[in-house]
Structure 1
């Protein structure tokens, strides 16, 4: 539609351009007089002496209004009007027909030909000018309405919205936009029944009930409804009344809100479910747990929360990368969910099916974050059922997980809290399940633990130790005690083992009370760094002040061997004090070694290349492969004291020690027996050919100065050599 003649402005104000008029008349006198009169009254007039000339001028010129004489020779005004209406852009051009006839037939012919208005020829120029101004003004209003309607139509298209009306006497009328919304663009009218059949069968009955209720009470309809093709429509309709105030029907809009609903569902998904595993997140879990708690309070039954934390997940995540770690979490979530969904449900006697369904709807495994999961059992008969589910989870997690074509084994620690005995709120249950989970970890991991009140004291004590341990390094509270290692052949002190102690509030804390906490919190790494530096400093002090040449063995966790700067750290600690690297021996337990052996082996090789000797501590207590032993650059095996304790009393202990000594000889490794306390143990070990003995049979762990005095009183040590030579 061409509306240039409207957009350029045709107002009558002093600053607007003059309206342009095409005046068409075959009578030269009338043409002259009318044109002059209109020019005097502010119009720009272009004259045409017939219909053909007028049509030619309209080919390249656009007036604001056309004044057309009805009776002309050749093409009269009626035919001219019909032809210009067929020209593109002239459909809404205002046309005033001038006629000298006042009969109704001529007026009807003028409107049939497409005239906008008519005017009887006269010399009343003021009336003619007024009629033209009125015609221009009404045309502007009409164009503004059309533009507004076009914008509304466009807005409805963008909003996927359309209007409709249903009247009891006339049926349903859908506007074109509404037809597009429901996917029916054809011209054929649609009945209300046809539209109802587009609604998804599962919602049709509810929609009919809603409509009947609205008709009964003459209330507003405002709802969403699903139609075939997985689309969702929003329906808003208000009642319409007749002159007597009776309900006549409804009028309103239909809007396609499918994308909005999908976006809302996505937001709801992100707000309530973990994006990685698809499991309920913390927010959703707590909401479900609150509902389960309310149900348990009403019905008087129990429900349980299981807190599941993966053991050593960080090792896999750091070794294989976060992508493989994510794959692992997804698989763990799937297995845990299967354990909950497939476990036997034990419900209270007399529970109805609807309540059972509501409980199972709350049942879930969710991810709290990281490698922590929670299982919610909304109704359990007691602790035994919760234990059974937890045990099924441990069994499911023991199966290998295939990542990047290789099998990995993952375990978990599970803490269990059961309402109401272990807490009367969700917060209490989660906290107590967490305490139980940490107790399971402290008992060796890959275990489950029911909460009981005694665990709170243990947890509080552990927290206090952790807090104080953070400050122990700063305050200089850590000390090293040293225990001699005696050569079996000649009784000399070959080396000493540095054993860490913590002097807290004037009393010594034994390693078993704080080392596990240090390992769990990661504090063991800076503590090990301190131990290396302190041992090197003490070796130099013994050399300088007592003339002793003692090597010191320092036990390090596997984390320390995974650090890229361990070799440089040892080199710096020895060379800064003028010590050879062999002055420090490093020990790693068999269990820690096998935990991350692929990462540890390269570091061990680099250390031995600098002269540092490596020993495997607590040998025989873990699980190691003999093939690995042939690859490791180790110098020494240390027999764990658990085997030494019953030497000469139990055949099994003697057999194990005999095998270890034989293995060490075949691999040309030195053997140290720990925990030697009795003459019988010493006698058996010497008889089996053990190289080195360590234990209270010879000397307890003691401070550095006490060790020096012990040596001066009769302990035999290797004399110090001149650092220069």
Structure 2
């Protein structure tokens, strides 16, 4: 049933101009002969469905001991989020972006971590949970504030910074003042606009694309650059880069997992996406580069900016500041 529904387009509006791509997930509760109330069964199935969609990213999920544990962890994170935000428990790690021609540090992406009880909780453990609600919007602006505070501290100390990108969820697109809120946040820390890049993920909704185009235009007019993240992972990539004037395109890591030559299908796709970005006047960066073969393939296709473990892991702010003072990498 899921395979029948998923990926289908629903056309609506005047002359069928509106279009929504349908997604589908399911939660499964297996009856074992024990006495369960209707509400218990429904709650279990709904919990599994929610985890399948937001946490596990699978088409369906059975209600079992692992699901119960995941559900409890999700509820705990939601419960403690506001307290963690107030206590400044969310920090930024900075993963460098490097120019292949020179080996120079050209930028970084701020990656969120939850520092709780001496432990650094990875984003994959809590971002999907927060994506279920508007809490993700509060977290995104907190990360923007953290990045701006770090950058101001560095510049006040005489350190030359590089542009840092901050991820923003599609959930923000219901905010009519999103661009203004981003600009005012950056201005409150006296950070230069050209030192901030806002990354948006792909969206399949045409109405979201219209709103996103308006936000990107306002940010560009203010000097804040924008990037489309995970390009190639969704359904609407071509429409997005046709209609929205992004400054940067980040290749989805699935496109660069191949280490073979251009006869490989993924490599062929990557080659043409890089060429398309160049034709549209967008800079292109490959995320997730880890091996020498991947680097050579990117060089062959003239994608000359990379982010990944080949050069560096995500760095805590003080370590990244030292990298700013020594902004050059040697090839292995």
Shift of 1:592: 6.9
Q: Structure 1 residue 652 and structure 2 residue 265: aligned?
A: yes
Equivalent-residue separation in structure 2 for 1:549 and 1:395 (angstroms): 48
Aligned to 1:633: 245
Shift of 1:546: 4.0
Equivalent-residue separation in structure 2 for 1:414 and 1:599 (angstroms): 30
Cα distance change of structure 1 residues 393 and 549 upon mapping to structure 2, 3 Å threshold: closer
SS of alignment partner, residue 432 of structure 1: helix
* Unmatched tracts of structure 1, length 5 or more: 1-390, 718-725
The 5 Å alignment of 1:216-295 reads none
Q: Confirm or deny: 8 A CA contact 1:539 1:551 kept in the other structure.
A: no
The 5 Å alignment of 1:583-602 reads 583-591=195-203, 596-602=208-214
Shift of 1:637: 0.8
**Which structure's CA Rg is the greater one?**
1
Aligned to 2:124: 512
Aligned to 1:672: 285
Equivalent-residue separation in structure 2 for 1:646 and 1:397 (angstroms): 25
Aligned to 2:303: 690
Aligned to 1:661: 274
Equivalent-residue separation in structure 1 for 2:91 and 2:73 (angstroms): 22
Structure 2 length normalisation: TM-score? 0.87
SS of alignment partner, residue 29 of structure 2: strand
SS of alignment partner, residue 132 of structure 2: helix
Shift of 1:400: 3.0
The 5 Å alignment of 1:58-457 reads 391=1, 395=5, 400=10, 402=12, 406=16, 408-409=19-20, 410-421=22-33, 423-442=35-54, 443-444=56-57, 447-457=59-69
Structure 1 length normalisation: TM-score? 0.42
Equivalent-residue separation in structure 1 for 2:6 and 2:260 (angstroms): 43
SS of alignment partner, residue 564 of structure 1: coil
Cα distance change of structure 1 residues 425 and 571 upon mapping to structure 2, 3 Å threshold: closer
Equivalent-residue separation in structure 1 for 2:127 and 2:233 (angstroms): 18
SS of alignment partner, residue 75 of structure 2: helix
Shift of 1:464: 1.6
Shift of 1:430: 2.3
Cα distance change of structure 1 residues 642 and 448 upon mapping to structure 2, 3 Å threshold: closer
Deviations 1:645-694 (A, max 9, x none): 22337822321221111111111211111111122222222232113111
Aligned to 1:498: 110
Aligned to 2:178: 566
Equivalent-residue separation in structure 1 for 2:70 and 2:222 (angstroms): 44
SS of alignment partner, residue 601 of structure 1: helix
Shift of 1:393: 11
- Report which stretch shifted further, 394-403 or 681-690: 394-403
Cα distance change of structure 1 residues 472 and 594 upon mapping to structure 2, 3 Å threshold: farther
SS of alignment partner, residue 520 of structure 1: coil
Higher relative contact order (CA 8 A, sep 6+): 2
SS of alignment partner, residue 473 of structure 1: helix
Q: Confirm or deny: 8 A CA contact 2:204 2:236 kept in the other structure.
A: no
Equivalent-residue separation in structure 1 for 2:174 and 2:46 (angstroms): 29
Shift of 1:716: 3.3
Cα distance change of structure 1 residues 588 and 432 upon mapping to structure 2, 3 Å threshold: same
Q: 1:532 aligns with which of 133, 138, 144?
A: 144
Shift of 1:435: 2.2
Equivalent-residue separation in structure 2 for 1:414 and 1:439 (angstroms): 10
* Unmatched tracts of structure 2, length 5 or more: none
Cα distance change of structure 1 residues 564 and 430 upon mapping to structure 2, 3 Å threshold: same
Equivalent-residue separation in structure 2 for 1:422 and 1:516 (angstroms): 33
Aligned to 1:721: none
Shift of 1:701: 0.6
